[in-house]
Amino acid sequence: MDNKTKINNKTWNGVADLFFEASSLPTWGPFSVGKDLKLINKIKGKTFLEICCGSGRSIKYLMDRGAKKLIGLDFSKTQIDEARKHNQDNVDSGNVELFQTPMETIIKIKPVDFVFSVYGIGWTLNPKRTFANIYSYLKPNGKFIWSWDHTFFTDVDYEKGKFFVKYSYHDEKELEIKNWKKEGFTAHICYRKTSTWFKLLREAGFEIVGYYEPKPINLARGHSDPKKYYSIQKAKLIPSSFIFECVKN
């Protein structure tokens, strides 16, 4: 791991417990976005790889619905331990396999039908390598589905009774955020324009068959304080998330 990834790894090991109840399938992000899209409509007998598998709740969701094999990848030991706890029987039987490694590092697996990620891909500091890895994990015509914070949602903040654009949408930036979620932890994260994500996916060989900016479904999962990042008021104005649906040709 490079130094910034090591810093992010330390941070996620320290703050992961705050995200154990975070969005997982069948939703694709805050406010239960994407639940109505049914993007993974064939589960029984299929094989899956989850990038940034977190607490393992999406893995359990798919296994409970007849998935044949699930592979989870996350660089955080805290997350992997939690994922194992929620899927212990299937881990013991070999139906669930967990890898503690960064998404930029290639793993040796048999090709799968689906690769997916709920709010994980945006953490990559090397998207070209990450997308190349994911492409190699898929069977021909396999699907890659992933969600992330909508870039414009990230650019908007609230102050003195009004929402305003805090960052230029055109300015693709890497932020170093001190005291992220807990005191003493630092996060390195890159924000990219939506058009950049399209370009990176196409360069990796994917056909983009769907792009979604879903409306919030469950506003109760947001904050009533407009100053909060995932505020209800903000989510009503602009999309909080985007979802890419891609195919390996």
Number of domains the chain is built from:
1
- Residue of 86, 41, 85, 91 lying closest to 66 (CA atoms): 41
Position 248 scores a pLDDT of 98
**Tens-place pLDDT, residues 47-58:** 999 999 999 999
* pLDDT in the model for residue 1: 81
What's the pTM value of the predicted model, to 2 decimals? Answer: 0.96
Averaged pLDDT, 115-124: 97
Mean pLDDT of 134-161: 96
Instruction: Kindly report, residue by residue over 7-25, the tens digit of the pLDDT.
Output: 999 999 999 999 998 899 9
pLDDT in tens, 188-232: 999 899 999 999 999 999 999 999 999 999 998 889 999 999 999
User: What average pLDDT does this structure show over 173-200?
Assistant: 95
The pLDDT assigned to 123 comes to 96
Q: Report the alpha-carbon distance of residue 63 to residue 71 in Å, rounded.
A: 11
Average pLDDT for 111-131: 97
Q: Assign residue 69 a region (left: φ > 0; alpha: ψ between -120 and 50; beta: otherwise).
A: beta
Does the pLDDT of residue 181 top 90, yes or no? yes
- pLDDT value for 173: 85
Average pLDDT, whole number, for the chain?
96
CATH classification at residue 221: 3.40.50.150
**3-state DSSP of 121-157:** HHHCCCHHHHHHHHHHHEEEEEEEEEEEECHHHHHEE
> What mean pLDDT do residues 160-183 have?
93
| pLDDT at residue 103, rounded to an integer | 98
Q: Give the pLDDT mean for 88-112.
A: 98
Contact 49, 67 (CB under 8 A): no
First to last CA, the chain: 31
Q: How confident is the model at residue 176 (pLDDT cuts 50, 70, 90)?
A: very high
The range of the structural domain enclosing residue 49 comes to 3-248
Residue 221 is predicted with a pLDDT of 83
Q: Is 213 left (phi over 0), alpha (psi -120 to 50) or beta?
A: beta
